[in-house]
Amino acid sequence: MLVASDNGQRSWFVIGDQARDFYLRDEWAVHRYTCAHEMLQKGTTQLRAADVPAGAWFRDFDPNGKEVITEDSMRARDSRFVLTLLWVHDAI
């Protein structure tokens, strides 16, 4: 799944065939447990392949739960636009 956010708000997303059974959270704000949020807070441009709680991105999962997905985010330099690639693990 590819998710675009601007200024901490989800703008658009594209879902691949393997993630079609997963739904993004109803909230448009990027959750504080995501790499995308951390990048905006710290002003960094790239955080690579970090495990984050599945519930930080997906509905029907607990943001404080043990299920994790892999997030790879990149922020455009001098911008608050972030592209995020999400990988769903077979375990969830």
Q: What is the pLDDT of residues 28-79, one digit of tens each?
A: 999 999 999 999 998 888 777 899 999 999 999 999 999 999 999 999 888 9
Taking the whole predicted model, whether its pTM rises above 0.75 is answered as yes
87: buried, middle or exposed (CB in 10 Å: 19+, 13-18, 0-12)?
middle
**84 has pLDDT over 90:** yes
Q: How many domains does the chain contain in total?
A: 1
The reported pLDDT for the residue numbered 85 is 95
**Domain enclosing residue 75, as ranges:** 2-88
pLDDT for the residue 74: 93
C-alpha closest to that of 4 among 79, 13, 34, 66: 13
What was the pLDDT predicted at 92?
Answer: 79
Kindly report the number of other CB atoms within 10 A of residue 91's CB atom: 9
